[in-house]
Amino acid sequence: MNIGILVVSFVVAYLMGAIPCAVWVSRCWGLPDPRTAGSHNPGATNMLRVGGKWPAVLTLLGDALKGAVAVLLAMLFLPSMWWAWIGLVAVMGHLWPVFAGFKGGKGVATFLGVALALCWPVGLMLLGIWLLMAVCFRYSSLAALIATVLFPALLYFWVGPIWLLPSILISLLIIGRHYQNITRLCRGQEGKIGKKAP
């Protein structure tokens, strides 16, 4: 395998993940910067709080697409053992985006896009789990954490051990990014889906 292609693939995956969809959508819609409004998180849930349904939908689709496209491009040029690592780098780009002062979101939509591209049945199951938990409990963070925790196990069951390590690392990154949400959930202070920002 050409090392140059591998390096370029990692760089492209990071840059794609670093596209700050929430920031760009907020600018196009004339909304406050999601990094300084609501929960201060540039993600779809906070966009729902500060801007409403359609900015949130556009942010969700954009964040998911950049993860999925990064993996799909890797599938054209790299052996399968590298695909999930590319997904990991795309998630890292979302968490620490060079285009937005390294202040990124929590990576959930990008991770779901990566999962759909790697193994669409697993991606659909995770999406279904997220939706079910979100509808039942009204906490986006709780739904995301449950889906994230299940990701390595479902991927291992469906495709075997080839992507186990990068999938675990993706999960750990997203769980770590949710440490404040976990604290608020434990205290009963977490905001529910659809709650308007003050």
Q: What is the pLDDT of residues 14-58, one digit of tens each?
A: 999 999 998 889 888 888 888 887 777 888 878 888 878 888 899
Tell whether the model's pLDDT for residue 188 goes beyond 90.
no
Has residue 194 been placed in a domain?
Answer: no
Across 25-34, 54-63, 89-98, least confident range: 25-34
Indicate the pLDDT class of residue 63, thresholds 50, 70 and 90.
Answer: very high
Whole-number pLDDT of residue 145: 95
Within 13 Å of residue 77, how many CA atoms lie on the same side as its CB? 17
Whether residue 196 is contained in a domain is answered as no
Could you list the residue range(s) of the whole structural domain that residue 23 is in?
A: 3-187
β strands within 36-195, DSSP E: none
List of residues 6+ apart from 30 with CB closer than 8 A = none
CA angle (123 as vertex; 91, 144 as ends), nearest 5: 60
Name 138's Cβ contacts closer than 8 Å, sequence gap at least 6: 192, 193, 194
Q: What is the pLDDT of residue 100?
A: 85
Residue 135 belongs to a domain: yes
pLDDT band at 196 (very low <50, low <70, confident <90, very high): low
Q: Is residue 11 part of a domain?
A: yes
| Amino acid 40: pLDDT | 77
Answer whether residue 61 is part of any domain: yes
Q: How far apart are CA 28 and CA 48, in angstroms?
A: 15
Q: Are 197 and 48 in contact (CB under 8 A)?
A: no
Residue 182 has pLDDT above 60, yes or no: yes
Residues 42-58, buried b or exposed e (16+ Cβ, 10 A)?
bbbbbbbbbbeeebbeb
